[in-house]
């Protein structure tokens, strides 16, 4: 029902232009997180973007509420909430090297609108707002409310929605247009525990003086560096070729201040998909483990870490935690390590299948590290998130997707966490098209206008299906 009216509504040049103008209006405001100010927990930018979005919603005739500049809410009607749509107005930093337009000067080129936030997540937020407007303009009678929640801290830890849900209940159903279509209903659990060890310095040469690697726990490192003593660059190079052949990671070797400096160069990537990167650190440990260093406690620890996380073992086989279910294989990636003559500390990033428990994951890793005299921090895993595919809510979303795209709807499991990870009945729904890279978080971020319009239609239908039923 209503498909014809909805198609016609978003086919109108006037409505299309209104939507684009609204996106431009919000994307002009730089809204990356800033230092907290009185009444502005995330600084000036996010508060300004929220103020503008709520003003726009009011102009469209909706009642709004500002929750202390943490989030804002826009209500479709005054009935009890049945559906929340959770989008965000904060953005990641613009970065350098934009080529099409300045990051905060949104520009339409053909079917694309360029600018920071156009795809993540101001564009999708506006799609949801105009879907609500369409439901209102089409005069469809509602039996439950749809509330658009506009957050201001999705990119830096989602403290915004913690503030909100501390005072408001979760709606019976929530979707977040901050990822991909069709529906992401499963998000893996995670564990990223730091580990440390102290030991006595090995006095005999050759020895490893230091290893330095990693920027962020969730980034597979693209480079890693070791400083060696008592072994020349020339001798070191005798070992690097074989490891490069084996791993695809290149090594630069130089002599500096009577020491040998080895830099491993792989490919960095997101820890949720370690297969797509080439981990420089695990390749460096492979190299160090096959070189003829004098035995010492530190070397034993390096070798133990190498055995737990050999290069290319993305699935925890050697760490003893390999597992798999419908949510996919567990992945684990060693991403940071600092080593000196008397201590080491490191951290791995593990994305765990739905079936993982502290018992089958954390405790196994704890024991493995302990056996090598390395202490792992004993924190519980962040549980996985899952909403059953056969629930009427998910079935309705899949139906709406299918109805407007003509493509089969299906549920997806991912290794990353989305905005709804901690919501009981929340899923990610839209707005990116499968196979299109919108350069979210990169330079030249863009959204496809046709995809935004399609998303707005799908959301309109979803609101009707979920809120207009008796
Ligand atoms: Zn986002």
Residue 380 CB partners (closer than 8 Å, separation 6+) = 358, 362
Annotated catalytic residue 84? no
Whether residues 109 and 127 fall in one domain: yes
Q: Which two structure tokens, joined as six digits, stand for 445?
A: 């971020």
Distance between Cα 120 and ligand 1 center (Å): 5
How is 185-246 classified by DSSP, letter by letter? EEE-EEE--EEEEE-PPP-SSSEEEEEEE-S-TTEE-SEEEEEEESS-HHHHHHHHHHHHHH
pLDDT for 157 equals 87
- pLDDT at residue 470 tops 70: no
- pLDDT at residue 442 tops 90: no
Whether residues 111 and 227 fall in one domain: no
- Residues facing residue 397 across a β-bridge: none
- pLDDT at residue 121 tops 90: yes
Distance between Cα 408 and ligand 1 center (Å): 25
Whether residues 363 and 226 fall in one domain: yes
Q: What is the Cα–Cα distance from 6 to 230, expressed in whole angstroms?
A: 74
DSSP H or E stretch at residue 150 = strand 145-151
Q: What is the Cα–Cα distance from 343 to 357, expressed in whole angstroms?
A: 30
Whether residues 101 and 172 fall in one domain: yes
| DSSP for residue 302 | H
Tell me how far the alpha carbon of residue 449 is from its chain's centroid: 23
Among the three residues 352, 376, 400, which one is the final residue of a domain in this structure? 376
Q: Which of 32, 90, 445, 448 is catalytic?
A: 90
Q: Where are the alpha helices (DSSP H) in 344-424?
A: 363-371, 392-405
Distance between Cα 99 and ligand 1 center (Å): 22
Q: What is the Cα–Cα distance from 438 to 113, expressed in whole angstroms?
A: 10
Distance between Cα 154 and ligand 1 center (Å): 6
Among the three residues 351, 376, 401, which one is the final residue of a domain in this structure? 376
Q: Which of 154, 187, 286, 349 is catalytic?
A: 154
- pLDDT at residue 433 tops 70: yes
Domain count, the chain: 2
Q: What is the Cα–Cα distance from 261 to 254, expressed in whole angstroms?
A: 5
pLDDT for 331 equals 97
Whether residues 279 and 169 fall in one domain: no
- pLDDT at residue 344 tops 90: yes
Whether residues 314 and 391 fall in one domain: no
Whether residues 128 and 44 fall in one domain: yes
- pLDDT at residue 404 tops 80: yes
Distance between Cα 117 and ligand 1 center (Å): 8
Among the three residues 323, 347, 376, which one is the final residue of a domain in this structure? 376
Distance between Cα 121 and ligand 1 center (Å): 5
Which residues have their alpha-adjacent CB atom under 5 A from ion ligand 1?
Answer: 120-121, 178
Distance between Cα 177 and ligand 1 center (Å): 8
Q: What is the Cα–Cα distance from 225 to 219, expressed in whole angstroms?
A: 16
Q: Identify the residue whose tokens are 């650190």.
A: 281
DSSP H or E stretch at residue 148 = strand 145-151
Q: What percent of the chain has pLDDT over 90?
A: 93
Whether residues 41 and 124 fall in one domain: yes
Asked if 468 contacts 141 with a C-beta cutoff of 8 angstroms, the reply is yes
pLDDT for 145 equals 98
Q: What is the Cα–Cα distance from 310 to 420, expressed in whole angstroms?
A: 34
- pLDDT at residue 194 tops 80: yes
Domain that holds residue 364: 190-376
- Per-residue burial over 98-134, b = 16 or more CB atoms within 10 Å of its CB, e = otherwise: beebebbebebeeebbbbbbbbbbbbbbbbbbbbbbb
The CATH number assigned to the domain holding 93 equals 3.40.630.10
Distance between Cα 89 and ligand 1 center (Å): 8
Whether residues 211 and 171 fall in one domain: no
5-39 pLDDT, tens digit per residue, is 999 999 999 999 999 999 999 999 999 999 999 99
Q: How many CA atoms lie within 13 A of 438 on its CB side?
A: 29
Whether residues 173 and 197 fall in one domain: no
SS3 72: strand
Annotated catalytic residue 238? no
Q: What percent of the chain has pLDDT over 70?
A: 100
Whether residues 106 and 26 fall in one domain: yes
pLDDT tier at 469 (50, 70, 90 boundaries)? low
Distance between Cα 347 and ligand 1 center (Å): 25
Whether residues 269 and 353 fall in one domain: yes
């Amino acid at each position: 029902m209503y498909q014809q009216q909805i198609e016609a509504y978003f086919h109108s040049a006037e409505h299309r232009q209104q939507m684009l103008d609204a996106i431009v209006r919000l994307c002009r405001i730089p809204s990356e997180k800033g230092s907290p100010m009185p009444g502005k927990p995330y600084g000036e930018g996010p508060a300004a973007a929220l103020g503008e979005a709520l003003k726009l919603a009011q102009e469209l005739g909706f009642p709004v509420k500002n929750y202390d500049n943490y989030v804002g809410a826009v209500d479709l009607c005054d009935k009890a909430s049945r559906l929340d749509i959770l989008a965000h107005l904060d953005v990641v930093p613009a970065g350098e090297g934009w080529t099409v337009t300045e990051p905060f000067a949104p520009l339409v080129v053909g079917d694309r609108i360029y600018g920071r936030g156009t795809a993540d997540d101001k564009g999708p937020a506006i799609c949801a707002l105009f879907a609500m407007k369409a439901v209102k303009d089409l005069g469809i009678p509602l039996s439950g409310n749809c509330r658009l929640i506009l957050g201001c801290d999705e990119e830096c830890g989602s403290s915004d929605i913690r503030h909100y849900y501390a005072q408001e209940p979760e709606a019976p159903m929530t979707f977040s247009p901050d990822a991909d279509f069709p529906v992401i209903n499963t998000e893996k659990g995670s564990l990223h525990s730091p580990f440390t060890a102290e030991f006595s310095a090995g006095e005999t040469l050759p020895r490893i003086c230091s290893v330095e690697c990693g920027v962020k726990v969730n980034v597979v490192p693209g480079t890693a560096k070791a400083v060696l003593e008592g072994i020349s660059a020339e001798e070191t190079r005798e070992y690097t070729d074989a490891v490069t052949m084996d791993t695809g990671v290149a090594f630069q070797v130089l002599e500096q201040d009577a020491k040998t400096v080895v830099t491993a160069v792989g490919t960095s990537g997101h820890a949720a998909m370690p297969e797509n990167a080439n981990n420089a650190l695990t390749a460096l440990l492979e190299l160090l483990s096959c070189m003829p260093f004098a035995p010492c406690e530190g070397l034993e620890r390096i070798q133990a870490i190498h055995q737990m996380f050999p290069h290319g073992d993305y699935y925890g086989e050697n760490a003893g935690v390999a597992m798999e279910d419908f949510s996919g294989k567990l992945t684990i990636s060693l991403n940071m390590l600092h080593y000196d003559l008397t201590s080491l500390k490191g951290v791995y990033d593990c994305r765990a299948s739905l079936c993982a428990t502290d018992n089958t994951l954390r405790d196994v890793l704890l024991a493995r590290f302990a056996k090598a005299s390395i202490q792992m921090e004993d924190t519980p895993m962040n549980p996985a998130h899952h909403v059953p595919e056969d629930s009427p809510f998910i079935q309705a979303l899949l139906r709406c997707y299918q109805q407007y795209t003509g493509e089969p709807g299906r549920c997806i499991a991912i290794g990353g966490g989305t905005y709804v990870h901690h919501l009981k009945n929340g899923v990610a729904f839209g707005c990116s098209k499968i196979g299109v890279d919108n350069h979210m978080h990169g330079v030249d971020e863009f959204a496809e206008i046709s995809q935004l319009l399609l998303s707005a239609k799908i959301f309109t239908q979803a609101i009707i299906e979920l809120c207009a039923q008796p």
